[in-house]
């Protein structure tokens, strides 16, 4: 059990039969009346965000989220196949279950599976990946104002905005949380 006075960003709690992650919290002490904690909670299974207020003494159970490292094998139509490298157990997840989390992950890369009570609800890709650009327009000299970018398609099929000096065939580093270009490799 965790009290509302101990809330921090990133903590997961069980509330009303669902599991929520605290995105934002704020302790409020009004001039008149009792203090309270205002929170923004994200439902980890549906992705919906709700706002809720708590009294600082309210307690709720803290949810235990298990993270297990697995290897992404291949995509087969609408299914993504993964393997546990310790016991070679394979699982398949539908594209609807994992949403956009696989758009920067190549085959045979390691990802983290997030589960609650044995049911997997999310796939966490590596924070940074190195991918090769398969298609982009050439950048021309003198064609820039500061910070000009162009769209580029990487080997996984995702589109990333890159600086004009990056060419087709270049390997680039991408932040998977934001989908931003970081540097050439």
Q: What is the CATH number of the domain that holds 44?
A: 2.30.30.30
Tell me: do 136 and 163 sit in the same domain: yes
Q: The domain containing residue 12 runs over which residues? A: 2-60
Tell me which of 11, 29, 60 is where a domain ends. 60
pTM above 0.75, yes or no: no
β-bridge partners, 19: 14
Tell me: do 50 and 27 sit in the same domain: yes
Measure CA 150 to chain center: 24
Tell me which of 60, 82, 108 is where a domain ends. 60
Tell me: do 37 and 71 sit in the same domain: no
- pLDDT tens across the length of the chain (185 residues): 888 888 888 888 888 888 888 888 999 888 888 889 999 998 887 778 899 999 888 898 988 888 889 998 888 888 888 898 888 888 888 877 777 778 888 888 899 888 888 778 778 888 888 889 888 888 766 655 667 788 889 888 888 888 888 888 888 998 888 888 888 88
Distance CA 15, CA 1 (A): 11
Tell me which of 74, 103, 124 is where a domain ends. 124
Judge whether 38 and 51 are in contact, CB under 8 Å.
Answer: yes
Looking at the 3D structure of the chain, how many domains does it have? 3
How would you label 112-121 residue by residue, b for 16+ Cβ within 10 Å and e otherwise? ebbebeeebb
> Which sign, positive or negative, has the C-alpha torsion 14, 19, 21, 22?
negative
């Amino acid at each position: 059990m965790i009290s509302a006075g101990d809330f921090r960003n990133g903590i997961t709690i069980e509330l009303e039969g669902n599991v929520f992650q605290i995105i934002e919290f704020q302790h409020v002490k009004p001039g008149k009346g009792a203090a309270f904690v205002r929170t923004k909670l994200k439902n980890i299974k549906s992705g919906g965000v709700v706002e809720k207020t708590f009294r600082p003494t309210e307690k709720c159970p803290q949810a235990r989220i298990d993270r297990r490292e697995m290897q992404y094998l291949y995509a087969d139509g609408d299914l993504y196949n993964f393997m546990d490298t310790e016991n070679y157990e394979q699982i398949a997840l539908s594209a609807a279950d994992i949403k956009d989390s696989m758009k920067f992950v190549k085959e045979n890369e390691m990802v983290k599976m997030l589960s609650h009570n044995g049911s997997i609800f999310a796939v966490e890709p590596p924070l940074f990946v190195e991918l090769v650009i398969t298609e982009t327009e050439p950048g021309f000299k003198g064609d820039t104002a500061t910070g000009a970018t162009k769209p580029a398609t990487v080997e996984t099929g995702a589109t990333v905005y890159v600086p004009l000096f990056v060419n087709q065939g270049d390997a680039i580093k991408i932040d998977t949380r934001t989908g931003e270009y970081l540097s050439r490799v």
